[in-house]
Every structure is written in C-alpha cells, then in structure tokens.
Structure 1
Amino acid sequence: MLDVTKVPSPCYVMEEDLLRKNLNLIKSVAGKAGVEIILAFKAFAMWKSFPIFREYISHTTASSVYEARLAFEEFGSPAHTYSPAYTEADFPEYLKYSSHITFNSLSQYERFYPAAKASARPVSCGIRVNPEYSEVEVELYNPCAPGTRFGVTADLLPDRLPEGIEGFHCHCHCESSSYELERTLKHIEEKFSPWFPQLKWLNLGGGHLMTRKDYDIEHLVGLLQGLRSRYPHLRIILEPGSAFAWQTGPLIASVVDIVESRGIRTAILDVSFTCHMPDCLEMPYQPAVRGAESLPADAVKTARKEEHIYRLGGNSCLSGDYMGSWKFDHELQIGERIVFEDMIHYTIVKTTMFNGIRHPSIALCHSNGELEIYRTFRYEDYRDRMC
C-alpha cells in the first residue's frame, strides 16, 4: 500500500501491482482473441518500467523518430510506426528502428516506399485508412472529424493496392467501449473489406479502454474472434495506450497556500494543471482527488466556509491554471498532501516546463511497498531545454 506521506512532493507514482493487473488482463484478451496488443508510447513511455511490460507484451507503437528509437533501444524490439508525415531527413531513422511503417497518404507512400523496399531491415508497409466514422465527441480527440488530416478514404484507393502495401491502420477511438468498436467495425468492413484479401495485417489503432472497470471484455473477445474468423489470413493488431496505464497510480502534490477572492477559496498547489495535467484542461475533465468529493465546477462560488469546498489552483502564472470544485471533510492546511488519482497515462508524456516550474519526480511503488525514484528533475533539465 502506497504511503503518500513518504513520497516526495510533487511526484507521479506508478504502482506495480496495479500495472501488473492491467497487463495480465491485456495479455489474457490477446491470447483468447488470437490478436496482438501492443503499447502506444503516445500515452505512456516510462521506459524504466519496460522490463515489467516485456513479461506480457512484445512490441510497441511509435509516432516519431524518438519514440521509434525508444522502442528499439529500451523496449528491445522494432516499433510499429505511424506518422502523419515523414521527412527525407528522418525516414532513414524510421527504417532503422521500425518493423512496420504506416503511411498517412498515398503521396507519402509513393515518396518513401522505394527507400523502405531497399532497406536492409525488412519493413512491412501499410496505409492509414479513414472510415469516416467515429463516436468521439470531443473534436480535439476525434481522428475522423470532417476535414481530418488523418488517413485515406475508400474512394481514393485504387482497386489494386500499390506494390508493398501489406496492411491497413485505422484509429477511430478514445477511451471507448467494445460496443463502439462493434459499430466502427461495421463501417470499416463495409468500406474497406474489398481490399482485405490483398493485406497481411489490420491495425485497429488505440482507444480501446479494456482495463476500465465497466468494459465488457467478453464482448471484445467475441468481436475480435469473429473478425479473425471472417478474415483468417489477417493478423489483427490493437495498440491502446491508456488501457495499459489506466488507474495505475496518482500524482501527489502539496498545498502551498490558500487564497480567497469574493468568497471563492483556492488551494494553491506545488503542481500545475497546464504543465502537469494538461488533459484536465484540454478534454476537459475534473480528476478524482483522494478523500474529496467532486462537485460541479461552479459549486465553489456559493459554498459556505464550513463546507470545506475549494478550487485547486496550479502554481503557474496562467490565469486558467485551476479547477474546481472539491469538497473535503476538513479545513485544508498548508503542507497537506493532495492526491490526484489516475495520473500516469497521458500526463508524464505531455508535461511541459512552462514558467520553469519544478517538474514532479517519477517513481515506481514496488509490490513490496518499496518506493523507487526513477527520476528527480533539476534546474539543469529546464535550462538545457531552453537553449
């Protein structure tokens, strides 16, 4: 059990037992369904924990040269790589670190396939396709929104695929259920199944939140088994990110000050929403805080002092670096720990050093309760990024 009082503040802490619980479930789904599930670095790339991951999965997915290199050097296997646009300068590096490369457009494929074909390392090439269907409501996260820059629509594909295209990649989900996948598959098959006989693999992308408590695992397994039975020659790949690190640990912060303006009380913390929890502002959503009740955001405006309702404020100079409201069962005190739940996925990979604010440390709480500090950030980390 993690003792938050013994964790340096601020700090992201991943808990090994919770991680292994997710990994066991994901491995079980892959085995029952006969598919491969790989880790998407865009959601989680804490490479010092990769020895644990390698006990359960064999590959990862990358969207940049740095991610592909991380896969090759630290995970120990070449990446399944997709980028919206490759460049002449970077493509040789992608070839060096990738086993699969997906192109976002036919023009990118035509430009770079000759190099892939001539590569000393065998590379399986694919095209990202757009089924023009997604149930993602927040447009910032909807890869199939009208006018999207992602993927090729069915009307633009020739009857006979160009030489070397061995797979289709399709990404339509964000923290989605198996029932959304079921409806999406109908659109994918309706639009793209005529080309399936020409393919070797089909990558269904990420956003499959199979480790969420209410996710219907048996329904997912049945869907994937059915897909494989219809197209037995296709290797089916899923590449979730959040599902691996979902609810595997908190961000631990401390109260630095408490200010009041027009009856609104704000507890200012030693972390920042904009720097350390950006999805809270982008998505937006109000995260769970341990020991506090989450209320509608405007509840703090009419709260009585004795109700112990606070906004939580970040320590950057951005005016909007705050969220609220949370109800505590006591008066908050300077130095008190505030624990933001489920802060491992899509946080560490998206943090910034805006304002030069101290970056939270990164740690792993082992199964025996031992806390291993993976990284503590220093002034030099900020300085070296600014030069």
Structure 2
Amino acid sequence: MRTPVYLVDESLIKENMRILRYVKDRTGCKVLHALKAYASFATFPMMARYLDGVCASGVHEARLGREEFKKEVHTFGAAYKDSEIRSILKYSDIIIFNSFYQLEKYHAMARKKGLQVGLRINPGYTEVSIEKYNPCAPFSRLGIIHEIFREGFSKHKNKIDGLHFHAMCEQNSDVLERILKSFERLYGLYIRGLKWVNFGGGHHITRDDYDIERLIRLIIKFKKKHRVEVYLEPGEASVLNAGVLISSVLDIVRNNAQIAIMDASAEAHMPDVLLMPYRPHIMKSGQPGDKRYTYRIGGPSCLAGDIMGDYSFDRPLRRGDKLVFTDMALYSIVKSTTFNGTNLPDITLVRESGELHQVKTFGYRDYRNRQS
C-alpha cells in the first residue's frame, strides 16, 4: 500500500450506523448524515440502509447527496446565490434559510418545486469553547437571533414548515438538554403548527461516554410536547474512529531535536490540526518523554508550521517507517488540498470482508486542473 493513504474501515462505520439507528428506532426521530464532515460516497450504499438522508451546505453537496445517497436531502446555506438556487432546489427536499430576506426571496420558488421550507435560528445558548467552531458565538452570521425572529415571524409564519438550530461541537447530550431549555424559552411559542424541528449537528452520539439514553429521553419528550418531527444531523458521529491516515517517514533531521519528515502534511491533509488546533494521535506513540525516543513529526510542505506535534516511541524511527494517525475519516478527506503541489492521499476502504479496496488515487492532473 502506497502512502499517504486514508484508510476507511466500513465495518467501523457500520457500528456507528447501528448506534444511530438505535436512536432512530427508540425515538422515531430522523437522522441525517452531515456531508461537510465526510463525503466519501463509496460507503453511502451501506450508510443509506441505516439513515434517512443527508444534510448539505450548498449545491455540490446537495447534488452528491441526491445522486449517491439517494434519500432525503436537507440543504442549509448561510446565503444562496441566484445562479445556484435552481439547482439547489432540484436536488433538495427541504431548504433552510438563514434570514427572512432570503426566505422571502426564494420561498415561492421552493414551494413551486414542492420543497418544505425552514429557518435557522440562534437558540441563545451554547457551550462551545473554541470561537471559530461556535455557531452561536457573539456576532455569529449563522441563525436568526431571537430579537429579529420575534419581529419577523408573524409576517412569514405561513411560509415556514420547521425550525433548525445548530449550537454544538463534539458534545454530549447534557449540553443538548441545556440548549433545548433556551430554545424552548425563546421559540417555544412559535413551534405550534410547524412540522419539524432540526436539532442540528455536533452530537457525539457514537463516542464511548455519550449518554444515549438521555438523548432518547430528550427527543421523546420534545416530540410529545410539541407534536413535531425531530431531525438530528450528526457528521463526526457517523465516521468517528472509523478511519486513519497512514504516512511514511521520508527523512529524519536534527535541529535541537529529532525531526521526522513525513509524506503526509498537516496543512494539506489534516488541516484541522493547525486550524483548531489539536494534536492527532499516532498509534503506538506517547507524549514527549513518555517513551524512550522523542521526535517532532512534520509534513513535507514549505510551510514552517506544517507540524503535527511531538511524540515519543519505544524504538527509534527509521526512514521508510509508517505512522498511523487515528480518527482521520472526519473533516480530513473533505478538507484536504494540493497546497504546495502536495499530492492528495489515496482513499482505500477496508471492506467488511477484510478486503482492501482502493477507491481513489490522485496525481498531477488533480493539482493542475485546479489551477487554471
């Protein structure tokens, strides 16, 4: 197997799917996969057996969802373009608007195409600590705040089928419980007569310590109280711990420390490592100094900060060794770039049979065709 390569395990995704279907079966809610986190459609036929559809953020994701997942497509965009709205409506079942202006502008067109229409609101509460990942941070552009919603709802209520909020990031169901209290306090009066409420994403449902039973109680209680359909939009939870990025050591240099240069790049192949930032786990490694041999692990690009982090190992690294970065199915394949001309990693599936299936390879044409 050549490197770098994203290795995605279909059996592990299936385990996540079973957990999500358990929530569906217990509550009667609908679960959509968020394409922004993972869009490798080779696994969609299997995932579609468990979930109700996908949520998209624009025309290309909506089309991919319609053509490859082949079930419900819900699309939310911070703002839609005139040149794309017809295609978005073509591929979507529900469209969610981010302002009363865009609702008014495109509502009739959506209804003519037979779509349901929703509004994204700001629920007025969040516990996301990293501001760039906080959809309800001060001055957030995402979701209508209560003051504006209260002024505009009566004029537009006959145009609206449902409400959508998103206020979580990698969080447990106790956080959702507190968000729902704020949401119901601010927007509970407006739910009557609606068809659905979408609880958005950020639910880490397939994480080992996630309180699934609390989530189930919250959904059942909400549905019974308000008599609406409930949607969830997990992205990470669909593929959590179901993929790795395998990379080879190209060289080892020294500058006050041992530095291993890999054929995978933090900047190009796992950008959240630098954006969030966070230190990805490498199999059989420890924190610096925990094990006998410590190395700084970096990428091949010319960016000085193309660094994954500092790690220790039981034995010295050698040129040609392979390192395995864990939990790389989510927000890595979809965000990878060809910065610096760096080649994109291959994508390979581990089928349920254990067979390796190379889904995609990349080369010069992929780099060239993006430039001109």
Give the TM-score normalised by the residue count of structure 1: 0.93
- Counterpart-to-counterpart distance in 2, 1:270 and 1:237: 40
- Name the SS of the counterpart of 2:234 in structure 1: coil
1:36 maps to 30
- Counterpart-to-counterpart distance in 2, 1:160 and 1:276: 47
Closer/same/farther in 2, CA of residues 308 and 161 from structure 1, 3 Å limit: farther
1:115 maps to 109
- Counterpart-to-counterpart distance in 2, 1:294 and 1:357: 28
1:126-151 superposed Cα distances (whole Å, 9 cap, x missing partner): 10000221100001100001111111
- Counterpart-to-counterpart distance in 1, 2:155 and 2:223: 22
Residues 154-233 of structure 1 aligned to structure 2 (within 5 Å): 154-157=146-149, 158=152, 160=154, 162=156, 163-232=158-227
Please, which of 253, 264, 267 is the counterpart of residue 271 of structure 1? 264
- Counterpart-to-counterpart distance in 2, 1:156 and 1:168: 14
1:159 Cα deviation (Å)? 5.1
Q: 2:282 aligned with 1:289, yes or no?
A: yes
1:161 Cα deviation (Å)? 5.3
- Name the SS of the counterpart of 2:93 in structure 1: strand
1:156 Cα deviation (Å)? 1.4
1:158-195 superposed Cα distances (whole Å, 9 cap, x missing partner): 35251321110100001010010011110010100100
Gaps of 5+ in 1: 1-6
- Name the SS of the counterpart of 2:19 in structure 1: helix
1:78-107 superposed Cα distances (whole Å, 9 cap, x missing partner): 410000000111110111000000000111
Q: CA RMSD in A?
A: 1.3
1:77 Cα deviation (Å)? 2.7
- Counterpart-to-counterpart distance in 2, 1:62 and 1:215: 25
Task: Report if the CA contact (8 A) 2:265-2:300 is conserved.
Answer: yes
Closer/same/farther in 2, CA of residues 150 and 72 from structure 1, 3 Å limit: same
Code of the residue aligned with 1:176 in structure 2: it is Q
2:331 maps to 346
Which contiguous aligned blocks of 4+ residues in structure 1 show a shift greater than 6 angstroms? none
Closer/same/farther in 2, CA of residues 99 and 159 from structure 1, 3 Å limit: closer
Task: Report if the CA contact (8 A) 2:94-2:118 is conserved.
Answer: yes
- Name the SS of the counterpart of 2:68 in structure 1: helix
Please, which of 40, 47, 68 is the counterpart of residue 46 of structure 1? 40
- Counterpart-to-counterpart distance in 2, 1:148 and 1:52: 36
Gaps of 5+ in 2: none
1:247 maps to 241
Between the two proteins, the alignment pairs up a number of residues equal to: 369
Please, which of 114, 117, 126 is the counterpart of residue 134 of structure 1? 126
- Counterpart-to-counterpart distance in 1, 2:368 and 2:287: 37
- Name the SS of the counterpart of 1:333 in structure 2: coil
Task: Report if the CA contact (8 A) 1:288-1:294 is conserved.
Answer: no
Code of the residue aligned with 1:185 in structure 2: it is L
- Counterpart-to-counterpart distance in 2, 1:159 and 1:367: 49
Task: Report if the CA contact (8 A) 1:287-1:341 is conserved.
Answer: yes
- Counterpart-to-counterpart distance in 1, 2:309 and 2:170: 23
1:143 maps to 135
- Counterpart-to-counterpart distance in 1, 2:25 and 2:217: 12
